[in-house]
A and B are shown apart, each in its own frame.
Chain A
């Protein structure tokens, strides 16, 4: 690996100052499972690596009355180890427990998964359907960006030089709501999504009709995709297979996948339909159990 300096800030202001004073040549290190591999391969360069793991705000994982504060450096393992978080946000657990292996999940962070901006990122669709909002800190103060607007292309995001992702806030899940994320991979483990789908649904009091729904897709566009129209068309519809298939078809309509070593355009569009229907059914099941 090419030489770099290493700093361990212990406060957010110190981290912001380190990132800001080094312009675009500083990189935040959380789990390192993407960053260090890419730096070794020469695909990312840094003069300064700033370790995120001693900054309290970046490592917060707390459930409050208003929802979940998910510090950007929080590892996947901390999520699946935290029973109240798993209970409150089972779809987040769905995502965090399928990224890489146990040894990857011990280090890899949800915020890193988002910042890495892979179209196939497993956490991002879940954060999108939960209406997550990113807090970004930089030399000019802090700003908020909805998760669905964070990624701008494969490997790129809205962070400007000197900025860093502080946390992702998920609002508390409303009553009669449920969510699920799933993906298709040829191997059971240690694989990257050919396609993935996350669904969030809120049912009415009778639990027979959709009150609201959000759907997001992985690996079928240059960024994780928010399929807004597919979720919106469910509002007011009865919970049945016909509604679910309509939403699945609407999700297929917005998918813009490419053909690559993992799958073809046709296969991926077909998968979007199958996975979205399954994600919706499971989300409904969870909403009815809640």
Chain B
């Protein structure tokens, strides 16, 4: 099928790209836009490794078509750090508290945690485990991820004061 032109805003920048209707947003992000921070895990909506924020809504980008991004904003892991390279508090706490091991699930966890903290800036351990239940990690056992999210929540709340 013919490729179509899609206009979207990715990490704050307007972009125009060609894609086939059958390409998922995940494929477009990685293979067309070359933003390889977003990972493919299960490719069927179970693991959360491909999480991005589409028009303010956390989604599994493997379950979205690239053409659906027309006119929408997309936030990927690459958009979290400041332009000067300053890490987002979640990136900082995942590093400081060792919230990762092999790292494949990490971008998805961080994007998912960002969406969680935006709706609930000071979540309990239970709320974090519930909120991140769509993200799977086979290395850490989750405890350090929960701690990293709690800590980042505190940092973000402090920064707002």
Contact = CB atoms under 8 A, between A and B. Distances in A.
A8 B69 CA distance: 12
Nearest to B50: A103
A6 B134 contact: no
B104 interface: no
Nearest to A37: B44
Interface string B58-90: 111011110110100000000000000000000
A221 B21 CA distance: 36
Contacts of B131: 102
Interface in A48-104: 49, 51, 53, 77, 100-104
B115 to A, nearest CB: 7
Contacts of B116: 102
Nearest to A77: B57
A6 B19 CA distance: 12
B133 A190 contact: yes
A40 B65 contact: no
A29 to B, nearest CB: 7
A6 B57 contact: no
Interface string B8-25: 000000000000111110
A102 B112 contact: yes
A4 B24 CA distance: 13
Contact of B46 (A36, A41, A190): A190
B22 A100 contact: no
Interface string B28-55: 0000000000000001111010010000
28 contacts: A1-B22, A3-B1, A5-B1, A29-B65, A32-B68, A33-B60, A36-B24, A36-B62, A37-B44, A37-B45, A51-B68, A53-B68, A101-B133, A102-B58, A102-B112, A102-B115, A102-B116, A102-B131, A102-B134, A103-B45, A103-B51, A103-B112, A107-B60, A107-B63, A107-B64, A189-B130, A189-B133, A190-B133
